[in-house]
Structure 1
Amino acid sequence: MPAIVECRFNGFGHTNLALAIFVSGVRARKYTLWAKETLGRQLDGRAGRPFKVGGGAHSEKPEEKSAGNLSVLRKSGRAVVILKESMAIEEEVLYLTELLRVKVYDLKGRDIGTLRDAALVPLIDPVRLDRYLVGAGPGWLSIRYDQIESIGPDGIRLKDERLTPYHSDEYMLRMVRDLLDQQIIDAQGRKVVRVNDVTFLKQRENGHDVLHILEVDIGLRSMMRRVLRGIVPPATVRTLQTHIHPHSIRWEFCNILEADPQRRVRLNISNKLLEDMHPADLADIVENLGHEDRQAIFNTMDSETAAELLSEVEPGIQTRILESLKAEKAADILEEMEPSEAADLLNELEHERSEQILDEMQPEEKEEVEELREFREDTAGGLMDSGFLALPEDATVAQAMDELKRDEEILEDLHSIFLVDSDNKLRAIVPLAKLIFAAGDTPLKNLASDSLVFVQADENQGRVAEMFDKYNLLSLPVVDAQQRLMGVITVDDVVALLRQG
């Protein structure tokens, strides 16, 4: 039965075609097929579903174009590439566990050692194996990818005699040392996984075999390959594994955990996949990581993203993270958090540690947090934030709009504008939504709510929650004994409070 490759198709001249390969007895695999010797182009692999050509009452006759071992059928803007039996796609896929300890032969067919590891050099190519590390006698040899004639489970044959001893290279991401049996983050599945094996695509380029990393394997298939390696022939293992559902992660969705910031740069490791995740999902991942891996993530993230993440992490883990970071980094993160939350976190730390972090904070943020630390955590003052907009009683809609434009970040959690007198006493509350259709010269007090609902800073948190429920509030101003405006509590603060309780 021929293998079928399905792809989106935008004309035979288009270079990037999404495809999925289906082989008899083999489930769909996601990888790149190099067809340079036949169609003269690279087909860029993605997952897909098989596309049946013909077979319907209204089926149109497909257009066909052949070249070498490939036959391309185009129909309704899509294409099917049919590979002849001489091209066995499954043989193009190799596994790391199949290759480890295979013999390496020189140009004369002499055994010079066994494969011990292989490495990417991400700054050169993020997916192509660049070096093969061969155990030969007391030391190792480093073999470049372009020195290899052929590679497979039966051995590696070289095309070049100029071999060099292996020296540790921090620009290398080694498959055995850095990936196999290591924890990584599956950014698509949003979980921490352990790598059991690595899948490569073997391609023929310029007369020699080249391996490109496709995915890491984490399921039962990969465990079986490791258990049976050296006991059962690879061909038999492949036959057995077809009865087990594959469980793997595409390489582009793998996030490597590396604590050393300099090595992350050398290996071109980015946190973009993690930073694009929802903070709550990423928090679940972080809570399942070890101490060093957590520290690595926070040390390499920008402070704003790290602050959002820290807010979602369980309280006990929050303090351990802050204790592990350098004071300067911890301060940068806390400056991006709501002041009340930052104050609560600092109160959970040892006095000496919290003072170290405060000393690294900017003066304005430091003063704000220190003021909030004076309130007990179980009071309204302990819940409130300083992110509010207060304007004079005689302010207009136009003035309010000008203030909002000057500080757009405040809009994220702003529900109301507070009107105060010359002594900063709260006089009225204006829902933000009322500004939308109001004329610019309209006095804000004309749009104020009929009732003035507020809470004093020393009120207990239980009463605060009751007020949000009773009055269906989105925000609640906090005042002192003289009714001077001090801060605001938002519905998000109350939800977080209830979640903890």
Structure 2
Amino acid sequence: MLHATEVLGGEAYDAQGNFVGRVSELFIEPADQPNRVARYLLGRGKYLPLLARHDQISSVAPGVIKLNVEEKELEHFHPNEAWLAVRKDLLDQQIIDTRGRKVVRVNDVDLAEQRTNGTVELRVTDVDIGLTGATRRLLQGLASPMLIRRIQERLPARTIRWEFVNLIEPDPLRRVKLRITHDKLERMHPADLADIMEELSPAERQAIIASLDEESAAEALAELDSRLTSQIVEKMAPGKAADIIEEMEPDKAADVLAALPPETSQDVLEELQGEEAREVEALLSFDAHSAGGMMTTDFVYVGETATRGEVLEWVRGREVNVEQLDSIFMIDGDAKLSGVVPVSEREGEGDFRALR
């Protein structure tokens, strides 16, 4: 096992044993192999840096790499936004631990060696978020690799498997080039996702919401602090904001729009379609602190022969907001209103009185 900090800054020698330069960056090409170090950037002081491909590496050890080609066979470096840079994009950067459901900072990157046909490939296995990675970086260049390894063996390891790492990239075009998706975030509970977003910068929050599907974005915004929700929605294009707000409950959608500047709120409202727009407009017409401003257009109706247990099962199965449910309407066999049953306030889970 190697670590990025042991490779970065290391000396590179060609097949003839000539010094070529120092490793200044490691590049991953997500479109090809999402965890393979595909290219090594070799700095050469005042000269143009060179690139060594993964199939041009014969060995890698802490502080030194050896090539299986001569220097003249290496190509000159040209920046590529589709490459993930280990030093620039990972070290010291915040990432999302999708398994632990939290935001963490990367101290180092763990690399496994894979030998193929006389070459050595490095594969990212984990990111180090603990003291071991921090210690390696602190002592790099001040102590020998052997001494650093002896010290880190006494420290508790804290790592995250690469497959559970979700990168945060504010630039939408680069997100596409790097193949960054947030599928794992969409599968999180909205409250957990909202907690994660509260730890991010405004640009990072905007990036996360922009890349989620509308339903997941709406659920996360509904759990987020109202001030942050307003900041996020205000920066969106009205059409995109409307698509997300349409996935919210009418009362929550009205709350979000009411907190926006009037012009922005109107722009988004004009993008809403059909019944959703009429319901939200109706709620917005009330003062926020009046009974109308706090009401919802949702209601529950059941057959008049329904039992308490059947109603409880139905309500819970559809994730009805019991806090806003004060009555259940009963209908007869002709679908006509036959009675109203108040919801008991004795139990937080919605302990309804007998329907008959």
* Fold shared, TM-score > 0.5 on shorter chain: yes
| SS of 1:343 mapped into structure 2 | helix
Q: Which residue in the other structure is 1:101 paired with? A: 9
Q: Which residue in the other structure is 1:159 paired with? A: 68
Separation in structure 2 between the aligned mates of residue 105 and residue 278 of structure 1, nearest angstrom: 50
1:276/1:411 Cα in 2 relative to 1: closer, same or farther (>3 Å)? closer
Deviation by residue 1:381-435 (Cα, 9 ceiling, x = unmatched):
22333334669x9x999xxxxxxxxxxxx944398xxxxxxxxxx9x8239xxxx
Q: Which residue in the other structure is 2:181 paired with? A: 270
Note if contact 1:334-1:342 (Cα within 8 Å) is conserved in structure 2. yes
1:472/1:114 Cα in 2 relative to 1: closer, same or farther (>3 Å)? closer
The letter of the residue matching 2:38 is D
Indicate which of 393, 413, 430 corresponds to 2:320: 413
Q: Which residue in the other structure is 2:139 paired with? A: 228
Separation in structure 1 between the aligned mates of residue 106 and residue 275 of structure 2, nearest angstrom: 46
Separation in structure 1 between the aligned mates of residue 251 and residue 333 of structure 2, nearest angstrom: 34
1:338/1:129 Cα in 2 relative to 1: closer, same or farther (>3 Å)? same
For the pair 1:147 / 2:56, whether they are aligned, the reply is yes
Separation in structure 2 between the aligned mates of residue 429 and residue 313 of structure 1, nearest angstrom: 32
Separation in structure 2 between the aligned mates of residue 470 and residue 245 of structure 1, nearest angstrom: 49
The letter of the residue matching 1:101 is G
Cα deviation, residue 376, structure 1: 2.1
Q: Which runs of 5+ in 2 are unaligned?
A: 307-316
TM-score (norm 2): 0.87
Q: Which residue in the other structure is 1:191 paired with? A: 102
The letter of the residue matching 2:153 is T
For the pair 1:469 / 2:345, whether they are aligned, the reply is yes
Separation in structure 2 between the aligned mates of residue 278 and residue 293 of structure 1, nearest angstrom: 19
| SS of 1:204 mapped into structure 2 | strand
1:182/1:473 Cα in 2 relative to 1: closer, same or farther (>3 Å)? closer
Note if contact 1:149-1:209 (Cα within 8 Å) is conserved in structure 2. yes
Note if contact 1:388-1:414 (Cα within 8 Å) is conserved in structure 2. no
Query: Aligned residues: percent identity?
Result: 42
Deviation by residue 1:335-383 (Cα, 9 ceiling, x = unmatched):
1000111111111111011111112222432222111101222233223
The letter of the residue matching 2:116 is E
Cα deviation, residue 452, structure 1: 4.5
Answer with 1 or 2: which has the greater Rg: 1
The letter of the residue matching 1:298 is I
Cα deviation, residue 330, structure 1: 1.2
The letter of the residue matching 2:58 is E
Deviation by residue 1:271-306 (Cα, 9 ceiling, x = unmatched):
011111111111111011100000000000001000
1:359/1:186 Cα in 2 relative to 1: closer, same or farther (>3 Å)? same
Note if contact 1:140-1:165 (Cα within 8 Å) is conserved in structure 2. yes
| SS of 2:6 mapped into structure 1 | helix
Cα deviation, residue 473, structure 1: 8.8
User: 5 Å matches for 1:320-335?
Assistant: 320-335=231-246
TM-score (norm 1): 0.62
Note if contact 2:29-2:38 (Cα within 8 Å) is conserved in structure 1. yes
Separation in structure 2 between the aligned mates of residue 383 and residue 474 of structure 1, nearest angstrom: 19
Cα deviation, residue 216, structure 1: 0.7
Note if contact 1:259-1:295 (Cα within 8 Å) is conserved in structure 2. yes
Cα deviation, residue 239, structure 1: 0.8
Q: Which residue in the other structure is 1:130 paired with? A: 38
Indicate which of 197, 203, 211 corresponds to 1:300: 211
Q: Which residue in the other structure is 1:207 paired with? A: 118
Separation in structure 2 between the aligned mates of residue 351 and residue 444 of structure 1, nearest angstrom: 41
Separation in structure 2 between the aligned mates of residue 220 and residue 348 of structure 1, nearest angstrom: 43
| SS of 1:364 mapped into structure 2 | helix
Q: Which residue in the other structure is 2:314 paired with? A: none
The letter of the residue matching 1:283 is A
Segments of 4+ moved more than 4 angstroms: 441-446, 470-476
User: 5 Å matches for 1:432-451?
Assistant: 442=333
| SS of 2:345 mapped into structure 1 | helix
Note if contact 1:186-1:193 (Cα within 8 Å) is conserved in structure 2. yes
For the pair 1:430 / 2:312, whether they are aligned, the reply is no
The one of the two structures with greater contact order (alpha-carbon pairs below 8 A, sep at least 6) is: 2
Separation in structure 1 between the aligned mates of residue 60 and residue 257 of structure 2, nearest angstrom: 57
Note if contact 2:51-2:75 (Cα within 8 Å) is conserved in structure 1. yes
Note if contact 1:396-1:442 (Cα within 8 Å) is conserved in structure 2. no
Indicate which of 282, 285, 291 corresponds to 1:371: 282
Count residues in correspondence: 336
1:470/1:198 Cα in 2 relative to 1: closer, same or farther (>3 Å)? closer
Separation in structure 1 between the aligned mates of residue 300 and residue 188 of structure 2, nearest angstrom: 31
In terms of mean alpha carbon deviation, does 258-267 or 242-251 score higher?
258-267
Cα deviation, residue 444, structure 1: 6.0
Separation in structure 2 between the aligned mates of residue 195 and residue 380 of structure 1, nearest angstrom: 49
Indicate which of 315, 321, 324 corresponds to 2:226: 315
1:353/1:153 Cα in 2 relative to 1: closer, same or farther (>3 Å)? same
Note if contact 2:300-2:329 (Cα within 8 Å) is conserved in structure 1. no
Cα deviation, residue 262, structure 1: 2.5
Q: Which residue in the other structure is 2:171 paired with? A: 260
Note if contact 2:242-2:271 (Cα within 8 Å) is conserved in structure 1. yes
The letter of the residue matching 1:413 is V
Note if contact 1:396-1:443 (Cα within 8 Å) is conserved in structure 2. no
Cα deviation, residue 270, structure 1: 1.3
Note if contact 2:8-2:63 (Cα within 8 Å) is conserved in structure 1. no
Deviation by residue 1:284-336 (Cα, 9 ceiling, x = unmatched):
11011100000000000001000000010011111111112222221111110
| SS of 1:298 mapped into structure 2 | helix
